[in-house]
C-alpha cells in the first residue's frame, strides 16, 4: 500500500532498522532475508535522500535525520496497531486478547493473582503474560513491548504515559519466630545491631531503602544476604537471627505459612504507593480500558480488606 507514493510497508522496516541498528538482526526480526532488508534500506535512503544508518567503526549509527524519525515512526505504527485492534464493541466473555503486564513478584502475589482469578471467570479468553519490569521501562513503553506496568509511584512519575494509583502498603520488620534476641518493641539500636536480608534487583531500585535510610540515621544496615525476589526473602530468615524490612502484606502472608514474626519498625517512613501505568497509544482501547478497570477494582478490594498500619519506603 502506498501513501503519497511511499510504500507504507517500509515504515515497519524503518522502525526495526532504527531500533536494531543492524541489518542482520533487523532481517531476523522482520522474518525476511538479509538481502531483502538491505534492499529496503536502500529504498528508504533513496526516499529520504539520507543515509539513515552510517558505518562508524564496527557498528551502524543513526544520522541526525534518522534520530528525528525514530520517535514519530514508532508512534505512527503504535497508533496504527491500536486502531487495527479496536472493535465496535468489547465483550469480555468472548473477546480474545493477549496482554503483557510487568510487575514485581510482590505485586503479583498480593494483587495480580486476584486479577487472574477474576479474568478466569469474566474473560476466559483474555491471556496475561506476567513479567518482571524490564531494565529500560520507558523504552519498553515507547516500543509497545508491554501493555501494563505496576510500579512504585516515585518511579512511575518519571514516565510520560497515562497512569493511576492502585494501593498503598506499609513496611514492618520480619524475623524468625524462634529468634533468641528479639522482643517487642524493637528499638533502633537493636535493629541496627542485627544482620539484615534485603531485596536487590540490579537497578536503581535496589538501593532505594539505603538511600532513604542513610541520610536520616547516618549509617548503613549490615546486609548479610540479598535476593532478587520478594517472595523468596522470608524463606531466608527461618532458623537465623537475621531480620528483613518488608511490605506488611507480604509479611502477613509469609507468617501464615512460615514460623515468622512481625515487629513494628523503630522509625517512620513514607508509605509505598503502587501505580498502574500504560502506553499512551492504548488509552482509548476498549479491551485495555476494561482490564485497567478490573485491576483497579481488585486494588480497591485489597485496600478495603486491609488498611496499612505502618509506613515504608517505595521498594516494590
Residue 203 sits in the same domain as residue 248 = yes
- Cβ pair 107, 295 in contact under 8 A: no
User: 3-state SS of 63-120?
Assistant: CHHHHHHHHHHHHHHHHHHHHHHCCCCCCCCCCCEEEEEECCHHHHHHHHHHHHHHHH
Name the nearest CA neighbour of 193 among 164, 173, 216. 173
Residue 183 sits in the same domain as residue 259 = yes
Tell me whether residue 195 is in a domain. Answer: yes
Residue 215 sits in the same domain as residue 294 = no
Tell me whether residue 312 is in a domain. Answer: no
- Report the C-alpha gap between 247 and 244 in whole angstroms: 10
Tell me whether residue 26 is in a domain. Answer: yes
Tell me whether residue 92 is in a domain. Answer: no
Residue 106 sits in the same domain as residue 76 = no
Residue 155 sits in the same domain as residue 277 = yes
The pLDDT of residue 268 is: 86
CATH number at residue 208: 3.40.190.10
Residue 265 sits in the same domain as residue 223 = yes
Tell me whether residue 142 is in a domain. Answer: yes
Residue 202 sits in the same domain as residue 70 = no
Q: Which of 85, 111, 127 finishes a domain?
A: 85
- Condensed to tens digits (0 to 9), the pLDDT of residues 148-203 reads 999 999 888 888 899 999 999 999 999 999 999 888 899 999 999 999 999 887 65
- Report the C-alpha gap between 32 and 40 in whole angstroms: 10
Which domain does 119 fall in, by range? Answer: 97-168+273-305
Residue 254 sits in the same domain as residue 175 = yes
Phi, psi of 201 (to 5 degrees): -115, 0
Residue 187 sits in the same domain as residue 50 = no
Helix (H/G/I), strand (E/B), else coil: 260: strand
The pLDDT of residue 288 is: 92
Residue 52 sits in the same domain as residue 189 = no
The pLDDT of residue 112 is: 97
Tell me whether residue 90 is in a domain. Answer: no
Indicate the pairing of strand 126-131 with strand 171-176: unpaired
- Report the C-alpha gap between 188 and 236 in whole angstroms: 22
Within the chain, which residues score under 70 in pLDDT?
1-5, 83-89, 202-208, 306-316
Q: Considering its fold, how many domains does the chain have in total? A: 3
DSSP state, residue 234: G
Tell me whether residue 78 is in a domain. Answer: yes
How many degrees, rounded to 5, is the angle at CA 202 between CA 198 and CA 203? 110
DSSP state, residue 255: H
Neighbours of 295 (CB within 10 A): 22
Strand intervals (E) in 11-58 = 53-56
Tell me whether residue 23 is in a domain. Answer: yes
Q: Which of 35, 51, 85 finishes a domain?
A: 85
Residue 10 sits in the same domain as residue 79 = yes
The pLDDT of residue 86 is: 65
- Report the C-alpha gap between 163 and 74 in whole angstroms: 21
Q: Which of 36, 55, 85 finishes a domain?
A: 85
Amino acid at each position: 500500500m502506498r501513501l503519497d507514493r511511499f510504500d507504507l510497508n517500509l515504515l515497519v522496516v524503518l522502525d526495526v532498522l532504527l531500533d536494531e541498528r543492524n541489518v542482520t538482526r533487523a532481517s531476523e526480526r522482520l522474518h525476511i532475508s538479509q538481502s531483502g532488508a538491505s534492499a529496503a534500506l536502500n529504498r528508504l535512503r533513496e526516499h529520504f535522500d539520507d543515509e539513515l544508518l552510517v558505518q562508524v567503526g564496527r557498528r551502524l549509527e543513526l544520522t541526525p535525520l534518522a534520530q528525528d524519525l525514530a520517535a514519530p515512526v514508532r508512534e505512527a505504527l503504535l497508533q496504527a496497531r491500536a486502531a487495527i485492534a479496536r472493535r465496535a464493541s468489547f465483550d469480555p466473555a468472548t473477546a480474545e486478547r493477549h496482554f503483557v503486564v510487568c510487575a514485581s513478584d510482590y505485586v503479583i502475589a498480593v494483587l495480580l493473582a486476584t486479577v487472574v482469578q477474576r479474568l478466569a471467570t469474566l474473560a476466559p479468553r483474555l491471556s496475561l503474560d506476567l513479567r518482571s519490569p524490564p531494565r529500560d521501562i520507558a523504552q519498553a513503553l515507547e516500543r509497545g513491548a508491554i501493555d501494563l506496568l505496576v510500579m512504585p509511584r516515585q518511579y512511575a512519575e518519571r514516565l510520560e504515559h497515562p497512569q493511576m494509583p492502585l494501593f498503598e502498603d506499609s513496611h514492618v520488620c520480619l524475623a524468625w519466630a524462634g529468634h533468641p534476641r528479639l522482643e517487642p518493641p524493637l528499638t533502633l539500636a537493636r535493629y541496627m545491631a542485627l544482620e539484615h536480608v534485603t531485596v536487590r534487583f540490579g537497578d536503581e531500585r535496589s538501593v532505594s531503602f539505603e538511600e532513604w535510610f542513610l541520610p536520616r540515621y547516618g549509617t548503613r544496615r549490615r546486609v548479610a544476604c540479598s535476593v532478587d525476589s520478594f517472595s523468596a526473602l522470608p524463606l531466608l530468615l527461618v532458623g537465623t537471627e537475621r531480620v528483613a524490612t518488608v511490605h506488611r502484606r507480604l509479611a502477613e502472608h509469609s507468617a501464615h505459612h512460615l514460623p515468622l514474626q512481625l515487629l513494628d519498625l523503630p522509625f517512620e517512613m513514607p508509605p509505598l504507593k503502587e501505580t498502574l501505568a500504560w502506553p499512551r497509544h492504548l488509552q482509548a482501547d476498549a479491551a485495555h480500558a476494561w482490564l485497567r478497570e478490573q485491576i483497579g477494582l481488585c486494588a480497591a478490594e485489597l485496600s478495603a480488606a486491609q488498611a496499612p498500619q505502618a509506613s515504608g519506603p517505595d521498594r516494590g
